[in-house]
Structure 1
Amino acid sequence: MSTPRTLTLPDGVHPETLETERGAFATLTAVPDIGTPLGTVLLVPGWTGSKEDFAPLVDHLCRYGWRTVAVDQRGQYETTGPSDASAYTLAELGADVVAMSKALGGYSQLVGHSFGGLVAREAVLIDPSVFSTISLLCSGPAAFTDEATLQSLQMLAFGLENLPIGQVYDLKLEHDRQAPGYVAPAEDVAAFLRKRFTSNVPISLAEITRRLTDVEDKTDQLAKSGVRAQVLYGAADDGWPIPIQQAMAAALGVEAEVIPDAGHSPAIDQPAKTARLLVDFFHDYPSLLTS
């Protein structure tokens, strides 16, 4: 889960609703004030996250000339979703992202953070024709393998199906507070984090949690998709082990890029550095022509 530093949106970043053939999605959107946008960047958040995880990054990417759209996935925070487990398979979530890109005109530069990277990968495999690039930000190739992590995720999924979601959040918060280095957020941010978590459709969050325990490695399929890929992570990322992310990059035929002074949430920790790495990749057409 990413923790925003502030709830004040940068100038030019606005809440909007994106209408697609698969329904409406809540977004934070920014469009350059001058000239024609260079294209569209579509940002997909991760587990227990939301579009707000990208707010500073949306601003920076827009300043580089890109129309930038961060979304809440179905059932996530301010986007509604059904109370049906079958609606939250990776195939369903990926199809949503395909529909988003089509609604935005296609050829999106797709960025998936953490679990959002797994959804972004699925979207590319469903229809690579509507994406120009895919950037996997602090994401991994498959389910977690650490036994303690798997046990925690399984317990959380069980709780979401059997307890009020507010009670699940309180239990999770108590667990998080015991972690070394825990820093309590500002009061308004803490209230936002609780509201965001409890606004999720419970079965949505339960199923997304389970995907982190059972998703298969489709890196080889992504490598054959024809969509240029990028792998980048914070130097202190504590999600998927860094060697696993590096191996995923190697399987994609690219070198993983490191964002200094950042953890699992570079869009918040280092939005300017993250934006620069992304736009350099978006514009890296010469290497494509000489490969």
Structure 2
Amino acid sequence: MSTPRTLTLPDGVHPATLETDRGSFATLMAVPKYGTPLGTALLVPGWTGSKEDFTPLVDHLCRYGWRTVAVDQRGQYETPGPTERSAYTLEEFGADVVAMSKALGGYSQLVGHSFGGLVAREAVLTDPSVFSTITLLCTGPAAFTDEQKVQGLQMLAFGLDNLPIEQVYDLKLEHDSKVPGYVPPPDEIAAFLRKRFTSNNPAGLAEITRRLMDSEDKTDRLAKSGVRIQVAYGASDDGWPITVQADVAERLGIQAQIIPDAGHSPAIEQPAATARLLVDFFHDQTFID
């Protein structure tokens, strides 16, 4: 989860509903004011996150000339989701992202953050023809293996299965507040974080949590997709180990790119540097007749 620093949307960034043949998705969207957009950047958030995790990045990418769309995935925050657990497999999430790209005209520059990176990878494996590039941002090759992280995920999934989601959030907040170095956010941000978490479809969030414990490594398949790939992460990312993310890049035959002075949420912590890293990568694939 990323914690926004402000809830005020930059000028030109606005909420919009993206209609696809797999349903409607809540988005934050920005379109350049002048000229024809260079293309479309499609941003997919991670576990317990939302489109708001990308708000400053949406603004920066748009200023570089890209139509930029950050989404809530099925069951996340402001996008409704089914109640059936079977609706929250990686295959279903990936098919949604394919449908989003098609609805936006195809050839998207796809960016997946954290769990969203697993979804983005699945989307490319489902239909590589509708993506120009994929960026794996602060994401790993498969499920977490760290015992402490896995235990925390198991507890959360169990809670979501058996308790009201509001109670689960309160228990999570109580746990997080005891972590050394925890700094409570301002009241407005704290209220948003609670609203966002409790607006998730409980079955969907429980299954997303399980995907972080059972997802398989598909790096070798991604390498054969034909879609150009970028791996990037914050210099102090505390999600998947940095050595694991660097190994993914090596297996893909590319150099991992590190965002200085950022942790697991570079789109919020260093949006300008993250945008520059992305657009440099996008433009390598942009051909003008």
Residue equivalent to 1:200: 200
Q: Distance in 2 between matches of 1:285 and 1:193?
A: 36
SS of the residue 1:272 aligns to = helix
SS of the residue 1:110 aligns to = strand
For each residue in 1:7-48, what CA deviation from the matched residue of structure 2 results, as whole angstroms up to 9, or x when unmatched?
001110000000000000000000000000000000000000
Amino acid across the alignment from 1:283 = H
Q: Distance in 2 between matches of 1:222 and 1:135?
A: 12
How far 1:285 moved relative to its partner?
3.9
How far 1:104 moved relative to its partner?
0.1
Unaligned runs of 5+ in 1: none
Q: What TM-score do you get using the length of structure 2 for normalisation?
A: 0.98
Aligned residues: 287
Residue equivalent to 2:183: 183
For each residue in 1:67-107, what CA deviation from the matched residue of structure 2 results, as whole angstroms up to 9, or x when unmatched?
00000000000000110000000000000000000000000
Amino acid across the alignment from 2:156 = L
Residue equivalent to 2:88: 88
Residue equivalent to 1:18: 18
Residue equivalent to 1:39: 39
How far 1:188 moved relative to its partner?
0.3
For each residue in 1:243-275, what CA deviation from the matched residue of structure 2 results, as whole angstroms up to 9, or x when unmatched?
000000011111100000111000000000000
Q: Distance in 1 between matches of 2:205 and 2:27?
A: 19
Residue equivalent to 2:236: 236
Q: Distance in 2 between matches of 1:250 and 1:284?
A: 20
How far 1:178 moved relative to its partner?
1.0
Q: Does 1:256 align with 2:256?
A: yes
Residue equivalent to 2:147: 147
SS of the residue 2:109 aligns to = strand
Residue equivalent to 1:276: 276
Residue equivalent to 2:224: 224
Q: Distance in 1 between matches of 2:82 and 2:184?
A: 33
Residue equivalent to 2:132: 132
Amino acid across the alignment from 1:10 = P
For each residue in 1:217-242, what CA deviation from the matched residue of structure 2 results, as whole angstroms up to 9, or x when unmatched?
00000000000000000011000000
Q: Distance in 1 between matches of 2:180 and 2:259?
A: 23
SS of the residue 1:258 aligns to = strand
SS of the residue 1:43 aligns to = strand
How far 1:148 moved relative to its partner?
1.0
For each residue in 1:171-206, what CA deviation from the matched residue of structure 2 results, as whole angstroms up to 9, or x when unmatched?
000111111211110100000000000000000000
Deviates more, 1:175-184 or 1:88-97: 175-184
How far 1:49 moved relative to its partner?
0.1
Q: Distance in 2 between matches of 1:159 and 1:232?
A: 32
Amino acid across the alignment from 1:189 = I
Q: Distance in 1 between matches of 2:203 and 2:16?
A: 25
Q: Distance in 2 between matches of 1:219 and 1:171?
A: 35
Q: Distance in 2 between matches of 1:152 and 1:115?
A: 16
Q: Distance in 1 between matches of 2:55 and 2:266?
A: 12
Q: Distance in 1 between matches of 2:105 and 2:253?
A: 28
Amino acid across the alignment from 2:223 = A
Q: Give identity over the alignment, percent.
A: 80
Amino acid across the alignment from 1:150 = V
Q: What TM-score do you get using the length of structure 1 for normalisation?
A: 0.98
Residue equivalent to 1:101: 101
Amino acid across the alignment from 1:158 = F
RMSD: 0.9
Amino acid across the alignment from 2:35 = G
Q: Distance in 2 between matches of 1:279 and 1:47?
A: 25
Residue equivalent to 1:52: 52
SS of the residue 1:29 aligns to = strand
